[in-house]
Structure 1
Amino acid sequence: MTPVLVTGLGMLSPLGADVASSFEAAVLARSAIVRAPVSLTAGIPDLLVAPVAVEPAQRLERKLLSGDRATQMALVAAEEAMRDAGLSDGPPDGRRFGVFAGIGFGGAHTLDGLYSRYFAALHGPEAGRRGATVMHPLSVPRMMANGPMAAVSMRYGLRGMGNTYSVACASSAIAAGEALRAIEHGYLDAAIVIGTEAMLTPGSLVAWNALRVMASCDPVDPATSCRPFAADRSGFVLGEGAAALVLESRSHAQTRGAARVHAQLCGYGSSSDAGHLTAPSVDGQVAAMQQALAHAGLQPADIHYLNAHGTATEAGDVIESQSIVEVFGAHTPKLPVSSTKAVHGHLIGAGGALEFALALRALATGTIPPTAHLHQPDPRCPLNHVAVTARRNAHMEAVMSNSFAFGGSNACLVARRWAD
């Protein structure tokens, strides 16, 4: 099968307006977690969020602002990735250039605004009730899960396969893996992978809070409230953002003279637990990681950094630790592991793409971002934690990134250093 290369990266995250600033903040353990504004909390005290560092509207032309917030973020990340790949104007022929998007809940901002307007009018003064059904004519297109994919496709004239994956927290990791397969098997020459999520709305926060998976606010420093793998962890913080990756077959990248290659995306595994709607499974996670290693043709000892799913939930961190130990065996003590969710929050559908992009930057720079605030690891998570401080000048030839989702969906990506 043809090698698939990552030739472009883009990002709009809580940590920064682009890939460089986001990675720098992750390396420095600079947390973007803050107390949620009162407008989002619906009266629930001490809710936390990780909003994007820069408003997407500040980065887009006016004509691109008609979509939902998640679509706007996707366009910002795509713009950086396409520019990084030398494709700012799109490819000369987009018929074999696809778009693969991952999003957990499409159009959350549009839907929340629609209901707010509807009920305010319905229960307001009688004279205004006749307008309760008057909504923006683009409400349905804005809410469609494939809105970000469609917007990026139209923006760059990409007429190849266009798919959207809505698989909760594994969405964009699965999008990347399926794009990899499509290029490997010759259905496409190239693709852009988008992960995006904009779920910081009152309705979403109330729903997530009801699951009892959200972090308790640290009374001294709210920014340190998310502590993956720590003995005193209490849950995750909901974030928003987008990340993008341009993937190309080796021949396509060489023929057009791609300026750079970040890495080779060489391994993908996915599995379903078929067990519980919200509880993770060692068997399912192990299967995804082992499939990714087999696809890449690598052994456990060949992986030099693992960006963990690491949500800071009671069950999630312990189960993932057990899964890592089962897959990596005797290599586990030598494998650096960290979760960057401690500083950028949980981006749900965007998380897989964003965390994989951070892992690629670690591979390129030899600098592993730490798990921030990890001062006392849970003894049930016996891993080689990169805790509190980044690990620099690390030798890395291959990296892995895990994404595990409610519903029992598991995805794992592996990349290696490219040397043609």
Structure 2
Amino acid sequence: MKRVVITGQGTVNALGMDVASTLNAMAAGTSGISNLDFENVDRLNIKIGGQIHGFDPDAHFTRQKRGLYDRFTEFGLLAADQAIAQSGLVFEGELAERTGVVMGTAGGGLQTQDENYRAVYEQGKNRVHPFVVPRLMNNAAASHISMVHNLMGPSFAVATACASSNHAMGQAVNLVRAGASPVMIAGGSESMLCFGGIKAWEGLRVMSGDGCRPFCATRNGMVQGEGAAVFVFEEYEHARARGAEILCEISGFAMTSDAGDIVTPNADGAQRAMRQALKNAKLNPDDVGYVNAHGTGTTLNDSVETTAIKRVFGDHAHQLMISSTKSMHGHLIGGTGAVELLACIAALTTGMIAPTIGFTTPDPACDLDYVPNTARDKKIGAAISNAFAFGGLNAVIALRAI
């Protein structure tokens, strides 16, 4: 098994349009959650989200290209551009032929679907945009990243609801570990903040109308966000040979299924995923200093995840620093694990432990250290990032300082 390291990262989300601004916002405990602004928002009960305001696609893409891209693809492309630029890699020859892309998304081109359903059903039009299908397909972001950067290796999309990004990155890591590819580009992208996207989630009655407060006794639901994060996963010796700056090592990955309920979280499935990720990484529980929790802000998820963490880490659970950055950038659904990996990398490289903001009242069912409201400065050696999806699909990534 080959070792896998990260040599590039990029992001666009409600906290910032690049990694530096995003991490600065996390360090400051900034909220990127604001009033939503799009067509028919007045018809919604939920009117807040981690929306990227002021984004001008014309500043980044030609009109011809924009005709091919849904908003989630645009986000994915911008994040990939940043990550690849940081890595310093140029894809040509054999490297181009063996490097691929794996992107996670739950909704794919939901903005495109929403716009064209409105045109047909509300406005009575008989024609839709000729590229509706290529724009809305879940693999659109992965495909366009591969085309822009000349990546001809294994490329595909993963759609497993809120675990999509972690699953996608885990599959990319496994391809590098197995020697199938020396480099893989992976992450997640999502843009569900449109009328249909919010209205569908309203039906589940898991959304908060006043903010995301993970692990707090006053929590009353999740808040959606949008954006993307993309990483360059590279075989360790390949990165060393070219003198690349190495951010950290992806030391382990695991995925499990609850095989239980379609929407209710299960502590057994979550704990098995964490245990297996630690075993895969050859880490002991007390090696881990930080857990980026799934932490959605729903009553059930946060208490179940707390229980699972206690089972896995035992007495060390009370020494762990745990946070949910969803409190700041919102829940990016299929893109959320990728944005949250940024916080884990920052903890390993700079010692910045991102906070859980909005935490005002302790909950007896959530009695661990959730780094409430204020970031900390503490260098750690290892971290894990949790993603637990509807459908009972769990994916956990373990990272190590290098």
- Same fold by TM-score greater than 0.5: yes
Partner of 1:22: 22
Q: Deviations over 1:256-279 (max 9, x none)?
A: 332x11100011010011100100
In the alignment, structure 1 residue 118 sits paired with structure 2 residue 111: no
Partner of 2:6: 6
Q: Which one of 201, 207, 212 corresponds to residue 200 of structure 2? A: 207
Q: Deviations over 1:29-53 (max 9, x none)?
A: 1101112236343523452111125
For the 8 Å contact 1:279–1:406, the answer to whether it is kept is yes
What is the TM-score normalised by the length of structure 2? 0.96
For the 8 Å contact 1:56–1:72, the answer to whether it is kept is no
Determine the C-alpha separation between the residues in 1 that align with 2:73 and 2:130: 17
For the 8 Å contact 1:59–1:76, the answer to whether it is kept is no
In the alignment, structure 1 residue 190 sits paired with structure 2 residue 191: no
Kindly provide the amino acid, as one letter, of the partner of residue 353 in structure 1.
A
Counterpart secondary structure, 1:385? coil
Aligned positions of 1:49-198 closer than 5 A: 49-52=49-52, 55=55, 57=57, 60-62=60-62, 63-65=64-66, 66-87=68-89, 89-92=90-93, 93-122=95-124, 132-198=125-191
Q: Which one of 324, 327, 330 corresponds to residue 309 of structure 2? A: 324
Partner of 1:230: 216
For the 8 Å contact 1:401–1:414, the answer to whether it is kept is yes
Cα offset, 1:2, TM superposition: 1.1
- Structure 1 residues 54 and 400: CA distance shift in structure 2, 3 A: farther
Partner of 2:380: 396
Cα offset, 1:134, TM superposition: 1.3
Counterpart secondary structure, 2:113? helix
In the alignment, structure 1 residue 417 sits paired with structure 2 residue 401: yes
- Structure 1 residues 46 and 97: CA distance shift in structure 2, 3 A: closer
For the 8 Å contact 2:252–2:281, the answer to whether it is kept is yes
- Larger mean Cα displacement after TM superposition, 27-36 or 301-310: 27-36
Counterpart secondary structure, 1:160? coil
Cα offset, 1:362, TM superposition: 1.8
Q: Deviations over 1:306-343 (max 9, x none)?
A: 11000000100000000000000010111000101011
In the alignment, structure 1 residue 252 sits paired with structure 2 residue 254: no
Determine the C-alpha separation between the residues in 1 that align with 2:207 and 2:340: 20
Aligned positions of 1:219-298 closer than 5 A: 225-258=211-244, 260-298=245-283
Determine the C-alpha separation between the residues in 2 that align with 1:358 and 1:102: 18
Kindly provide the amino acid, as one letter, of the partner of residue 296 in structure 1.
A
For the 8 Å contact 2:290–2:320, the answer to whether it is kept is yes
Counterpart secondary structure, 2:314? helix
Counterpart secondary structure, 1:246? strand
Kindly provide the amino acid, as one letter, of the partner of residue 403 in structure 1.
A
Percent identity between matched residues is: 39
Determine the C-alpha separation between the residues in 2 that align with 1:64 and 1:356: 29
Determine the C-alpha separation between the residues in 1 that align with 2:58 and 2:302: 37
Q: Deviations over 1:107-165 (max 9, x none)?
A: 1000000100012342xxxxxxxxx3311111110011000000000000101100210
In the alignment, structure 1 residue 335 sits paired with structure 2 residue 320: yes
Kindly provide the amino acid, as one letter, of the partner of residue 270 in structure 2.
Q
Determine the C-alpha separation between the residues in 1 that align with 2:300 and 2:349: 32
Counterpart secondary structure, 1:239? coil
Determine the C-alpha separation between the residues in 2 that align with 1:120 and 1:53: 26
Counterpart secondary structure, 2:39? helix
For the 8 Å contact 1:149–1:194, the answer to whether it is kept is no
Kindly provide the amino acid, as one letter, of the partner of residue 278 in structure 2.
L
Kindly provide the amino acid, as one letter, of the partner of residue 68 in structure 1.
D
What is the TM-score normalised by the length of structure 1? 0.92
Partner of 1:222: none
For the 8 Å contact 2:46–2:202, the answer to whether it is kept is no
Determine the C-alpha separation between the residues in 1 that align with 2:340 and 2:53: 17
Kindly provide the amino acid, as one letter, of the partner of residue 250 in structure 1.
Y
Kindly provide the amino acid, as one letter, of the partner of residue 324 in structure 2.
S
Cα offset, 1:90, TM superposition: 3.2
- Structure 1 residues 46 and 161: CA distance shift in structure 2, 3 A: closer
For the 8 Å contact 2:317–2:368, the answer to whether it is kept is yes
Cα offset, 1:178, TM superposition: 0.8
Counterpart secondary structure, 1:413? strand
Cα offset, 1:64, TM superposition: 3.8
Determine the C-alpha separation between the residues in 1 that align with 2:44 and 2:241: 56
- Structure 1 residues 42 and 249: CA distance shift in structure 2, 3 A: same
Determine the C-alpha separation between the residues in 2 that align with 1:27 and 1:329: 29
Kindly provide the amino acid, as one letter, of the partner of residue 55 in structure 1.
F
Question: Could you list the runs of 5+ residues in structure 1 that have no partner in the other structure?
Answer: 123-131, 218-224
Cα offset, 1:91, TM superposition: 4.6
For the 8 Å contact 1:6–1:265, the answer to whether it is kept is yes
Counterpart secondary structure, 1:264? strand
Q: Deviations over 1:358-407 (max 9, x none)?
A: 21012111110110011212110121220011111x13001110001001
